[in-house]
Structure 1
Amino acid sequence: MLSPHLAKKIVSDVRRLIDEDIIIVDTNGIIMASTDTTRLGQFHEGAFLVCQEKKKRIITKQDENILRGVKAGINLPIFFRGDVIGVIGITGDPKKVSPYGELLKKMTELLIQENYYTEQLQLEARALETFVFEWLQARDWSPSFYERAQLFHIDLTMKRRVIIASFHENEPSLSVDMWKYVQNMWNEQRDIIVRWGNDRLLILQTDEDKERTTAKIKTVQRALIEKYAVTLYIGCGKMVDSKHVHHSYKQAERALHIAKQTKKIVFDEDLRLEMCLEDISLATKRELVKRTIEPFMHEQELLHTLRTFFANNLSLKQTAEALHIHINTLHYRLKKIEQYTNLHVRNLEHIITLYLAIRFLDETTKK
């Protein structure tokens, strides 16, 4: 309950309030944490007696010659759920430090209580994460799986949609506070929200309505930006029977990859071309770039021209205007691209090949 790490944290927090030395002692009388590091690991007879008697003890100058390892001050028992779990000691003139005693004791007990509930919350969260992980892996459900579902109050008869929410890679990792905040914002008891690694949340949703889902996601995104200054990318799978959530998970992964590129909420069922492109390996994408536009990759002007040409739906007039060049200059650049690649912008198959090449170039460069 009272670990050395927690004891050290308590000493650090309490020290901000007073200048006197502070110690935290375990129930065996061993000093666990101290502002005076030379006392660590020493036996403190006064604290040991406090644990036995369950009441505070004033340590006088005379006691320094009688009790082992003590200094003048005050020792107070730390209680948790009615039991003494340690002692906090404040070194100094007893008359001077006694007024702080009860306040610091209460503060210490609150810190321990807060730490306990945080640990319990994390244990419960990990247990749920483990259950969801098994849910996504298992094809057949064992009796123990059904029992754990009941313990978590999870209805396995309901259809579910997997939603994966990912934080930007340069932003801080997902904290317990963020996870709880999203749970409270989401506010749907039938849905399951778990932490999925250091930068993701996984939601098993029961609402089939896309518009409501989109509105809810946008509300959460705005709230996280305002409260934590973090950006959330969202990929959503299809609604499936609970037995097939692994399919929805794969779809959500694919949708999330597109969401990171488009900065939009992406539902897998809305994907068309992207659905096909996601199944192409990175090696194949790089090979297509090599076989097509690699000969002029050193000419940024031509690459920019080609990107702008596609961004303007192959309109020569709009592309020239966007580039602030004469249309004859645009024709000249496109002709150079044809010479480099032997692909012609008026040939449907060739223009599709160029489009995929420039798209794969941008994608693989980012990776």
Structure 2
Amino acid sequence: MLSPHLAKKIVSDVRRLINEDIIIVATNGIIIASTDTTRIGQFHEGAFLVFHEKKTRIITKEDENVLRGVKAGINLPIFFHGDVIGVIGITGDPKKVSPYGELLKKMTELLIQENYYIEQLQLEARTLETFVFEWLQAREWSPSFYERAQLFHIDLHVKRRVIIASLKETKQTISVDMWKYVQTVWSDARDVIVRWGNDRLLILQTDDDKERTIAKIKTMQRALLDKYDVTLHIGCGKMGDSKQAYHSYKQAERALHIAKQTGDIVFDEDLRLDMCLEDISLATKQELIKRTIAPLMNEQELLHTLRTFFANHLSLKQTAEALHIHINTLHYRLKKVQQYTNLNVRHIEHVVTLYLAIRFLDETTKK
């Protein structure tokens, strides 16, 4: 409970309030943290007596000659759940340091309680994440799996949709505190929310209503932006049987990949062309670029013209207006594209090929 690491942190925090030497002693009387690092590892008989007596002890100058490893000051027992788990000592004139004693003792106990709470949350988060990982991977559920589901109050008989929320900034992480806050904001006890790695949240949702789901996601996004200044990309799989949640998870990952490009909340069920493009390997995409628009790599004006042409749905008039050029200039540029690539924008198959090549180029450039 009172580890050397935690004791060192407590000494550091407490030292901000008082400019005296401070020690924290384990129940065996060994100093495990101190502002005077030379005392760490020494036996402190006064603290050892405090642990057994469970009450504060004043250490006088006379005690320095009687008790092992002590200096004048005050030693106070640290309580946690009714038990003494250590001793905090303040070195100095007992009359001067005694008024700080109870304050520092209470502060130390609060720090220990806070650390215990955080550890319990982290344990809960890891345990739940492990359970969900098994949920998504196992093809058959063991009796122990059903028992753990009951301990977590998880209904395995309802249909679920997997939602993956990913932090926009890769340097940010999902903290335990952030995870608990999302559970409060999401406010549906039937749904399972876990931290999924360092930068993702995974939600196993039970509500099949798409509009309500979008509303809840937007509420979560706003709440996290306001409280933690983080932005989430969202990908949603299809609703399905709990035993088939893995399929919804893969769909959510595919939707998330598109969401990172568009900035929208993406549902896999809404994907059409994107659904096919996601299954094309990077090597194939790069090969298509090489076979089509590679000769245009040094012709940025022509590449920009093509992008604008596709953005304006192949309308020559709208493209020329968007580029602020005469339509004859646009015809000239598209003719140059044909000369470089042997692909004619008047040919439907060629147009699709050029569109995919430009799209793959932009995708790989972003990566």
TM-score bucket of the superposed structures, by smaller chain: over 0.9
**Structure 1 residue 322: Cα displacement:** 1.0
SS of 2:239's equivalent?
A: strand
CA contact (8 A) 2:170 2:199 kept: no
Task: Name the structure 2 match of 1:62.
Answer: 62
Query: Matched residues in 2 for 1:171 and 1:186: separation?
Result: 24
Residue in 2 aligned with 1:150? 150
3-state secondary structure, aligned to 2:344? coil
Corresponding residue number in structure 1 for 2:137: 137
The CA deviation at 1:56 is: 0.8
CA distance in 1, matches of 2:355, 2:289: 10
| Match of residue 236 from structure 2 | 236
Matched, 1:263 2:247: no
The 3-state SS of whatever aligns with 1:249 is helix
Q: For 1:199 and 1:335, how far apart are their aligned partners in 2?
A: 47
* 1:31-79, Cα deviation, whole Å (9 max, x unpaired): 1111111211111111111111111111111112221211111100101
Q: Tell me the percent identity.
A: 85
Matches within 5 A, 1:267-346: 267-346=267-346
Whether the aligned pair in 2 keeps the contact of 1:171 and 1:230 (CA below 8 Å) is: no
Range 313-322 or range 266-275, more displaced? 313-322
Using the TM superposition, give the Cα deviation of residue 169 of structure 1 relative to its aligned residue in structure 2, in angstroms.
3.3
Q: Name the SS for the 1:239 alignment partner.
A: coil
SS at structure 1 position matched to 2:166 = strand
Specify the alignment match of 1:351 in structure 2.
351
* Cα distance between partner residues in 2 of 1:302 and 1:366: 19
TM-score scaled by structure 2?
A: 0.98
**Matched AA of 1:296:** L
Deviation per CA, 1:64-102: give whole Å up to 9, x if none: 222121111110010111111101011111111111101
Q: Distance in 1 between matches of 2:170 and 2:332?
A: 41
Alignment partner of 1:89 is 2:89:
yes
Whether the 8 Å CA contact 1:26–1:32 is kept in 2: the answer is: yes
Provide, for residues 268-308 of structure 1, a one-character-per-residue CA deviation record: whole Å limited to 9, x for no partner.
00000000000101111111111111111122111111111
What code does the residue aligned with 2:257 have?
A: H
What are the equivalent positions in structure 2 for 1:86-235 lying under 5 Å apart?
86-235=86-235
In the aligned structure 2, how far is the partner of 1:314 from the partner of 1:210?
33
8 Å CA contact 1:235, 1:253 repeated in 2: yes
Aligned equivalent of 1:254? 254
Structure 1 residues 88-130: Cα deviation after superposition (integer angstroms, max 9, x where no partner): 0111111111111011101111111111121112112211111
Task: Using the TM superposition, name which of 322-331 and 350-359 deviates more.
Answer: 322-331
Distance in 2 of aligned mates of 1:59 and 1:298: 82
Quick one: distance in 2 between partners of 1:311 and 1:14?
A: 61
SS of the residue corresponding to residue 238 of structure 1 reads coil
- Partner of residue 49, structure 2: 49
CA distance in 2: counterparts of 1:178 and 1:121, whole angstroms: 11
3-state SS of 1:100 partner: helix
The Cα offsets for residues 141-188 of structure 1, whole Å up to 9 and x where unpaired, read as: 111111111111111110000000000134411101110111000000
CA distance in 2, matches of 1:170, 1:136: 25
Give the match's secondary structure for 1:75: strand
Q: Which amino acid aligns with 1:222?
A: R
Q: How many residues align?
A: 367
Secondary structure in 1 aligned to 2:84? strand
Q: Distance in 1 between matches of 2:267 and 2:170?
A: 24
User: 1: distance between equivalents of 2:237 and 2:210?
Assistant: 11
* Aligned-partner residue type, residue 48 of structure 2: F
Determine helix, strand or coil for the equivalent of 2:238.
strand
Unaligned runs of 5+ in 2: none
Partner of 1:76: 76
Instruction: Work out the CA distance in 2 between the residues paired with 1:281 and 1:163.
Output: 24
Q: Distance in 1 between matches of 2:227 and 2:53?
A: 47
How far has the Cα of 1:318 moved from its partner? 1.0
Letter of the aligned partner of 1:234 in structure 2?
Answer: I
Amino acid in structure 2 at the alignment position of 1:13: D
CA displacement, residues 286-336 of structure 1 (integer Å, 9 cap, x when unaligned): 111111111111221111111111111111111111111222221121111
Deviations 1:191-216 (A, max 9, x none): 00000000000000000000000001
Contact 2:289 2:361 survives alignment (8 Å): yes
For residue 74 of structure 2, give the secondary structure of its aligned residue in structure 1.
strand
Q: Is the 8 A contact 2:168 2:233 kept in 1?
A: yes
Which one-letter code corresponds to 1:105 in the other structure? K
Is this contact kept in 2: 1:160–1:205, CA < 8 A? yes
* Residues in 1 aligned to 2:325 and 2:31: alpha-carbon distance in whole angstroms: 78
Tell me the C-alpha RMSD between the 2 structures: 0.9
Amino acid at match of 1:268: D
Q: Any idea what SS the aligned residue of 1:89 has?
A: strand
Q: Is the 8 Å Cα contact of residues 237 and 248 (structure 2) preserved in structure 1? A: yes
